[in-house]
Chain A
Amino acid sequence: MNGPMETNGKRILPLELRDVTFEAGGMRLIKNMTFTLGGAGKVFILGPNGAGKSLLLRLCHGLIKPASGQVTWHGGNPKHQQAMVFQRPVMLRRTVAANIAYALKLRGIDRKDRADIVSDVLRRTGLARLAEHPARVLSFGEQQRLALARAWALRPQVLFMDEPTASLDPAATHTLEELIAAIHAEGTKIVMTTHDMGQARRLADEVLFLHRGRLLEQAPAERFFDAPENDLAQAFMRGELLWWRRRKNPLDVPHPDPLDYRQGGVTP
């Protein structure tokens, strides 16, 4: 398989969120969020820390369930046609190639096809020489590239990425951005969060701006970066710390960890 890798199956987009809320620890962390994502563009979710960006990705990806509202995919088998890359890559304790093969096995890809897909995606991501190395001894940047390769191998229609370049140096960030562009060029919709405004300006086609669990603006990237309509978005672009805004003494207020919803297990 040397040509472009086409995405999988029947189209699942658009993705529609209708009045979605998410609560944890008695706090409403996502509030009445309604929007639709369609087309094939690269969507960037922006906002200050605690805005709910990572939670929103997890809600869309189905890792957490909303307290109310609906997350609706239109058509296809959404579970098998999307993938996610996390801020910290999680590698299984096996080789680079085996990490990708494992993901393919879970998606029901035949054993005879797995090797071809693995070698192809490793070549495309520049990891071919590391194929038989244990994944967990790779550098952080290489592990994140492997996480992207593992997601790419699944040929998802939608790829969610939660600050994938947050801990990378400029060179590794550049490499990852090139790979993201290549994945997008093959028909995968990209939905990612970032705090890197330069990266968002370089890559984004559409922006969702969040603040304290609310969607304040959804706009084409060019228009958002030229002249955001929302005053908090304007303040964010100026570099103001929105989390503390409008509080007289921020230390008096409990500061929820937006990812503190995690459960230790699953219900069968």
Chain B
Amino acid sequence: MDDFTGAFSTAFFMIASLDSDLAGIVALSLRVSLTAVAIATIIGLPVGAALALFRFPGRKTMIVVVNGLMGMPPVVVGLIVYLLLSRAGPFGVLGLLFTPTAMIIAQVLLVAPIIAALTLQVVEDLWSEYSEQLRSLGAGPHQAIPTLLWDGRFTLLTAVLAGFGRASAEVGAVMIVGGNIDHVTRVMTTAIALEVSKGDLSLALGLGIVLIALSMSINAAAFVIKGAAQRHGNA
């Protein structure tokens, strides 16, 4: 019990004193996950909206694929990205394996389907409400997509946050393609796994507390923003 108490004390001290190791890992984690979510959002929002609005051969198959990719095991994604970026792979020449860029690519592949699938649902619901009015005003699907994305922005925020949750909590893929190299590709989740295996609970606990606090803060902010939007009739 004393071990646990000591570990918690040390963890809180590390957070309070902005321990450089801990801060470096947190900063890299945020950089990788936020970049991945930003790229996945840029891909996922229009793809989801287009799947909701356009009718074309193979659309249903694409929807099944996107929904299926939401549940893609991270280690499988990690393995695919590893094979693509390894020296023998088609993109090996780029030398991206075991870099933060490789981790970002893996997280984008994990997060983009989540954002696209959730966007598809949000935009489909909005379209069923707006369709006649927008077409009456002369908006084609290309003009409707940005309108629907803007009007669904507060609901879509939840989709983006779900993507961030997936990215920041992910360990399998980034471990494979990043290699968990100290001060290079070590992020919160991989560091926690490593420190626990070494028996060093202090750093693991400190990172765990930061991870939870981060997740709670972002979700609380989204909750406040969405609540304010609902009060003002914009959600």
The CA of A107 and the CA of B134, in the complex, are separated in Å by 12
Contact call B235/A266, Cβ cutoff below 8 A = no
Q: Does A63 contact B (CB under 8 A)?
A: yes
The CA of A262 and the CA of B129, in the complex, are separated in Å by 11
Q: Which stretch of A27-35, A82-90, A119-127, A178-186 is in the interface?
A: A82-90
Sorting the interface of chain A by its residue count into under 10, 10 to 19, 20 to 34 or 35 or more gives 20 to 34
Contact call A93/B151, Cβ cutoff below 8 A = yes
How far apart are B59's CB and chain A's nearest CB, in angstroms?
9
CB contacts (< 8 Å) of A84 on chain B: these are 132, 136
Known: A92-B151, A102-B147. A266 touches B141 (CB 8 A): yes
Contact call A90/B132, Cβ cutoff below 8 A = yes
Contact call A63/B136, Cβ cutoff below 8 A = yes
How far apart are A131's CB and chain B's nearest CB, in angstroms?
15
How far apart are B171's CB and chain A's nearest CB, in angstroms?
38
CB contacts (< 8 Å) of B141 on chain A: these are 265-266, 268
The CA of A61 and the CA of B135, in the complex, are separated in Å by 10
Main SS at interface, chain B: helix
Contact call A268/B136, Cβ cutoff below 8 A = no
Known: A90-B133, A94-B234, A264-B124. A79 touches B54 (CB 8 A): no
Interface 0/1 of B123-144, CB less than 8 Å to A: 0100111111101111111010
Interface 0/1 of A177-217, CB less than 8 Å to B: 00000000000000000000000000000000000000000
Q: Does B53 contact A (CB under 8 A)?
A: yes
Q: Which of A80, A83, A134 contacts B233 (CB 8 A)?
A: A134
CB contacts (< 8 Å) of B127 on chain A: these are 264-265
The CA of A144 and the CA of B132, in the complex, are separated in Å by 15
Within 8 A of B (CB), among A212-266: 262, 264-266
Contact call B138/A268, Cβ cutoff below 8 A = no
CB contacts (< 8 Å) of B128 on chain A: these are 262, 264
How far apart are B226's CB and chain A's nearest CB, in angstroms?
12
The CA of A137 and the CA of B54, in the complex, are separated in Å by 31
Number of A-B contacts (CB under 8 A): 73
Sorting the interface of chain B by its residue count into under 10, 10 to 19, 20 to 34 or 35 or more gives 20 to 34
The CA of A107 and the CA of B137, in the complex, are separated in Å by 8
The CA of A103 and the CA of B140, in the complex, are separated in Å by 13
How far apart are A191's CB and chain B's nearest CB, in angstroms?
13
How far apart are B66's CB and chain A's nearest CB, in angstroms?
16
Q: Does A267 contact B (CB under 8 A)?
A: yes
CB contacts (< 8 Å) of B233 on chain A: these are 93, 134-137
The CA of A268 and the CA of B141, in the complex, are separated in Å by 7
Contact call B232/A134, Cβ cutoff below 8 A = yes
Q: Does B198 contact A (CB under 8 A)?
A: no
Contact call A90/B55, Cβ cutoff below 8 A = no
The CA of A264 and the CA of B138, in the complex, are separated in Å by 17
- The residues of B with any CB-CB pair to A shorter than 8 Å are 52-56, 124, 127-133, 135-141, 143, 147, 150-151, 232-235
21 A-B contact pairs sorted by A residue (CB < 8 Å): A63-B132, A80-B138, A83-B136, A86-B133, A90-B132, A90-B133, A93-B150, A94-B234, A102-B147, A107-B138, A134-B232, A136-B234, A262-B131, A262-B132, A264-B124, A264-B127, A266-B54, A266-B135, A266-B140, A267-B56, A268-B54
